[in-house]
Amino acid sequence: MNESPNKHAVIVGLFIFIGLAFLLAGILIVGDLRETFSRKMQVFSLFDDVGGLQGGNNIWLSGVKIGTVSNLNFFGKSQVEVTMNIERKAQKYIPKNAMVKISSDGLIGNKILVIYGGTENLPSVQDGDTLAVEKTFTSEDMIKTLQENNSNLLAITSDFKTLSHKLVSGEGTIGKLLNDSSIYVNINSATASLQIASVRAQQLVSSLVVFSSGLNKKGTLMNELTTDTVIFKSVKASIIQLQQMADTASLFVTNIKYAGSNPHSTIGVLLHDEEAGARMKETIKNLESSSRKLDEDLEAAQHNILLRGFFKKKAREANNISIDK
Amino acid sequence: MKKLKQRSINKEDSVISISGLYKSFGDLEVLKGIDFKLFKGENVAVLGKSGTGKSVLIKIIVGLLKPDRGEVVVLGHHVDQLESKELNALRIRIGFSFQNSALYDSMNVYQNLAFPLTMNRKNLNKKEVDEAVEEVLEAVGLTDKLKQMPSDLSGGQRKRIGIARTLILKPEIMLYDEPTSGLDPITSAEIIELINEVQQKYNTSSVIITHDLTCAKNSSNRLAMLLEGKFLKVGTFDEVFDTNDEQVKAFFDYNFIQ
Amino acid sequence: MRNKYTFSKGVDEYFSGIHKAYLFTALFFREAFKKPFHLREVINQCFEVGLKSLALISLTGFIVGIVFTKQSRPSLEDFGATSWLPSLIGIAIIKALGPLVTALICAGKVGSSIGAELGSMRVTEQIDAMEVSAINPFKYLVVTRVIATTLTIPVLALYCSFVALYGSYLNVHAEETSSMISFYQSAFKTISFLDITTSVVKTLVYGFTIGIVGCYKGYHATQGTRGVGKAANQAVVLAMFLIFIEEVIIVQIANWIR
């Protein structure tokens, strides 16, 4: 007794099925009924990074939900165009230059779009307008900035470290000022060297006087040699230069000695004229090196082939004197 | 065994009148133009092989199935055109005994018998119901089974209770669907006896659907052979089987060989 | 040969099934508000539905409460928010789990038993027997059962929620040693009147679904005893499927109202 279904029942059943399917789909898709029937307008916004914003996320204005994100689309090369459905009744509270930012509605909550700011006297936003975006820091950005901050801080502290180190170790003008005892040390050592140099120079000069008197004796090798006027002239010139140098050195030493006897004046000069201080230091350095060179020159002169014999003789005489004694 | 009293039957007074009845299920045509009259006070046995639509016929009579075509007039009402209220009023006057008794499993014998009565006659008190139940149980001879559940009864007892349940509404027409199927010959004979008793006691007209020739012979005034959706022969037992028709002969032979 | 089917056999049967179900449901609403009301039978069925599922629902509700609390704790512990546990459980159980668990259990227990009972009544012709006894079987069997499930399942769901909350309380008490008063206070803190109303409406719908699906499948059972099993099975499957769809729809509608 298996009755095959008649056409009428099949068609009616089909229509009931379609009706139910539509009802079900309607209920499930429609979502918020009131929202569907409240009038909407569309506003756009361009973001570089939406940070996980999704269609359907809420839009807040002053903490009140005024719409939802309806769509996210890529725009241009790297931007995202966010389409917002905003209730008409909220329109008059959003000026044209209002800003949009992405926020979240709790510590671990959903992403939301927040509309804020704008100037009150500007006309309100219209359907299809684009709202400006304030770049908010994503956590990645924040870490990046923090990293930069760190490296900056590192550079600052290392600079400060060297600075303070230099200050302590007396480098730079301030360092020198703070530690000007070293100037005296330098000056003193320079003077000491100069004194040695001048003593030696005087010795040399006096020796040369003896030597030159010996040279005047005829028949000796030296005599023959020195009759070559060219050599003699040059030797004489160098001796004169040496004489002059020794004179200047002794003059300088006296000057320094004078200055050193009045330390207040030195500090005064250094304080009021930084250049002078630097130049002073330079001079002292030069003096030091030149006196050292002079010393070396004199040493070299002693070993000179031409003059070796004279010095040996002198040493022998000195020996003899000591033996005679 | 009580023999069925051959009464004079008034051929004018028909309780069931069927003409040009067609019924099909899908592509299967079961009844192909039945014309039949049941007169007041007579028992008619409808003979036929299984699956030839014997049960369908009485289900149409009682309004359980709707005919595709044809007229079915029962006690002066067109069954297929009745409103449910009128149909129910008509059904109270018809008793229907099902092939498998169809006793309510969840109720005991008393509740089974009292159920149709209490549902249809709201104003009865408990005593009247008890009396009515007692009466029909006496009629079927099972007064001691009052508190038993249908599942505790034997097949014959179930058949009796089933008949008792239809009798409690005092029907004018009884429709028996295979009253002896699944029963041993002795129990079958008892049921046939009961059918005859009922006919006399309650003065009913009956249609007895059966494939059992003995049952048909002993319980009916007339026979109807249902073959291939049509009544091949209608008449007394001798009239029907005094024939050269091959199919009727085959049916007859088959029953007696069995 | 004419084209027998509008689409194909399966599709035709599906759509005509929908049509039949629609007619069935429409008939329920037509019959439900007409006399007679069979109040005694409604009460019987309520008792049947409620009492049969009470033990199972107690146990299941209790276990659901404990297990859900146990499983939810670790994720709240991560935030150090185990004090939210009662309100979380309260929301989950009263708004969703209580009604749903009750509905699913009743779909299995009550739905299948209605499907099987009506199915067996159909195939053993008990429904036909009722009909020929001038009793409206739809009213007596279907309407009473559907009303019974519709009324009883909300009560069972409330009971189930309460038992589940008690189970949850035991677990919370064992772990956090909170008192019963503080547990119930925080459990009901976030529950609004609308939530409770939604739950009750939901369970009314579930109850109706279980009843009507069980009855529909049983009432239209065919093919003998095999059909009974099929009816019971399909009643459960279809009822559970519909319950989930209804859950979604009702939650959605409740969100509109909120």
Is A1 in the B-facing interface, judged by CB distances under 8 Å?
Answer: yes
pLDDT in tens, C80-89: 777 888 888 8
Give chain B positions within 8 Å (CB) of A4: 26-27
CA closest to B56 among chain A residues: A1
Place B256 in a pLDDT band, splitting at 50, 70 and 90: low
Nearest to C134 among B103, B105, B120 (CB): B120
Chain B hits for C131, CB-CB cut-off 8 Å, are 64, 91
- Higher-pLDDT residue of A295 and A1 is A295
CB B54 within 8 A of CB B223: no
Indicate if the pLDDT at residue C103 is higher than 80. Answer: yes
Lookup: tokens for A231: 């050599």
The rounded distance, in Å, linking the Cα atoms of C125 and B99 is 9
Closest CA to C2 of B22, B67, B27, A11: B27
| Option in C124, C132, C140 nearest B91 (CB) | C132
Residues of B with CB under 8 A from a CB of A: 25-27
Arithmetic mean of pLDDT over chain B? 79
Q: Which residue has the higher pLDDT, B79 or C114?
A: C114
Q: Does A29 touch chain B (CB under 8 A)?
A: no
Q: Mean pLDDT for chain A? A: 72
Hey, which residues does B46 pair with through a beta bridge? B209, B224
CA distance C56 to chain A (A): 32
| A211 in any annotated domain | yes
pLDDT higher than threshold 70 for residue B211? yes
- Kindly state whether residue A198 falls inside one of the protein's structural domains: yes
Tokens matching residue B173: 């027409």
pLDDT score at A271? 46
Cβ-contact B216, B45 below 8 angstroms: yes
Of residues A17, A28, A32, nearest to C18 (C-beta): A17
Decide: C116 and C227 in contact? Cβ < 8 Å.
no
User: What pLDDT score was predicted for residue B194?
Assistant: 84
Q: How many domains does chain C divide into?
A: 1
Q: Which residue of A has its CA nearest to C4?
A: A4
Q: What is the pLDDT of residue A255?
A: 67
Using 50, 70 and 90 to split pLDDT, how confident is the model at C150?
very high
Quick one: A185 and A296 in the same domain? yes
Structural domain for A141, as ranges: 137-168
Asked if B102 and C126 come within 8 Å (Cβ–Cβ), the reply is yes
Of A99-103, C81-85, C196-200, highest mean pLDDT: C196-200
Task: Tell me whether A27 touches chain C (CB under 8 Å).
Answer: yes
Number of domains composing chain A: 3
Contacts with A70 (C-beta within 8 Å, 6 or more apart), sequence order: A42, A55, A83, A84, A85
Residue A2 has pLDDT above 60, yes or no: no
- H-only helix segments in chain B: 54-61, 84-92, 109-120, 126-140, 155-167, 185-202, 213-219, 237-241, 246-257
Q: Phi-psi bin for B21: left (phi > 0), alpha (psi -120 to 50), beta?
A: beta
pLDDT at C240: 93
Model confidence at C206: pLDDT above 50: yes
Best-predicted range by mean pLDDT (B122-131, B166-175, C41-50): C41-50
- Using the predicted structure, report yes or no on whether residue B72 has a pLDDT greater than 50: yes
Contact B120, C135 (CB under 8 A): yes
What's the domain range around C114? 13-28+39-257
Q: Is A157 on the interface with C (CB under 8 A)?
A: no
Residue A304 pLDDT grade (very low, low, confident, very high; cuts 50, 70, 90): low
Q: Cis check for the bond before C137: say yes or no (omega within 30 of 0).
A: no
Name which of B55, B77, B84, B88 to mutate to probe chain C: the one with the most chain C Cβ atoms within 10 A of its Cβ. Answer: B88
Q: Are residues A284 and A226 in the same domain?
A: yes
pLDDT at B68: 84
- φ/ψ of C80, rounded to 5, equals 65, 30
Work out the percent of chain C whose per-residue pLDDT is above 90: 35
Higher pLDDT, residue A274 or C71 = C71
**Least confident residue range of A217-221, B113-117, B170-174:** A217-221
Collapsed DSSP state (helix, strand, coil) of residue A22: helix
Q: Given an 8 Å threshold on Cβ–Cβ distance, is C134 in contact with B27?
A: no
Domain boundary among A136, A157, A180: A136
* Dist CA B219 CA B241 (whole Å): 16
ipTM: 0.81
Contacts with B143 (C-beta within 8 Å, 6 or more apart), sequence order: B134, B137
- Mean pLDDT of the B43-56 span: 79
Chain B contact probe: residue of C132, C139, C145 with most B CBs at under 10 A: C132
- Contact list in B for residue C117 (CB cut-off 8 A) is 106
Looking at the structure, tell me whether residues A103 and A75 fall in a common domain. yes
CB contact under 8 Å between A2 and B25, yes or no, is yes
Tell me if A1 and B27 make a contact (CB, 8 A cut-off): no
User: Is residue A6 a part of any domain in this protein?
Assistant: no
Q: Does residue C34 belong to any structural domain of this protein? A: no
A188 and A313 together in one domain: yes
- CATH ID of B14-257, from 3.20.20.70, 3.30.2090.10, 3.60.10.10, 3.40.50.300: 3.40.50.300
**C253 Cβ contact list (under 8 Å, min separation 6):** A27
* Contact: C133, B169; criterion CB under 8 Å: yes
**Using 50, 70 and 90 to split pLDDT, how confident is the model at C149?**
very high
Q: How far is C135 from chain B (nearest CA, A)?
A: 7
**pLDDT over 50 (residue B1):** no
For the cut 80, the answer to whether the pLDDT of residue C40 exceeds it is: yes
- If you measure CA to CA, which chain B residue comes closest to C123? B102
Q: Which residue of B has its CA nearest to A5?
A: B26
How far does B170 lie from chain C, in Å, by closest CA?
11
A211 lies in the same domain as A285: yes
The tens digit of pLDDT for each residue in A203-252 reads: 766 766 666 665 555 555 555 555 556 656 666 676 677 677 667 766 76
Do A142 and A215 belong together in one domain? no
Regarding whether A188 and A268 lie in a shared domain, the answer is yes
Instruction: Tell me which of A57-61, A288-292, B85-89, C43-47 is least confident.
Output: A288-292
Which chain C residue is nearest to residue A19, measuring alpha carbons?
C18
Report if residue A114 sits inside a domain.
yes
Question: Over 90: is that where the pLDDT of C160 sits?
Answer: yes
For the range A89-93, what are the long-range contacts, defined as Cβ-Cβ under 8 Å and sequence gap of 24 or more?
A89/A38, A89/A39, A90/A61, A90/A64, A90/A66, A91/A41, A91/A124, A91/A125, A92/A124, A93/A61, A93/A62, A93/A124
Q: Is A7 inside a domain boundary? A: no
Confidence band for B118, pLDDT divided at 50, 70 and 90? confident
User: Among C5, C19, C75, which would you mutate to test the A interface (most chain A Cβ atoms within 10 Å of its Cβ)?
Assistant: C19
Reading phi first (left if > 0) and then psi (alpha if -120 to 50, else beta), residue B111 is in alpha
Please indicate, yes or no, whether residues A199 and A91 belong to a single structural domain of this protein. Answer: no
Q: Is B235 helix (H, G, I), strand (E, B) or coil?
A: strand
By three-state DSSP, how is residue A78 classified? coil
Choose the mutation target among A3, A8, A14, A23 for the interface with C, i.e. most C CBs under 10 Å: A14
**pLDDT at residue A147 above 70?**
yes
Q: Do A284 and A196 belong together in one domain? A: yes
User: Does residue A21 belong to any structural domain of this protein?
Assistant: no
Specify whether A76 is located in the same domain as A90.
Answer: yes
- Which residue in B has a C-alpha nearest to residue C127's C-alpha? B102
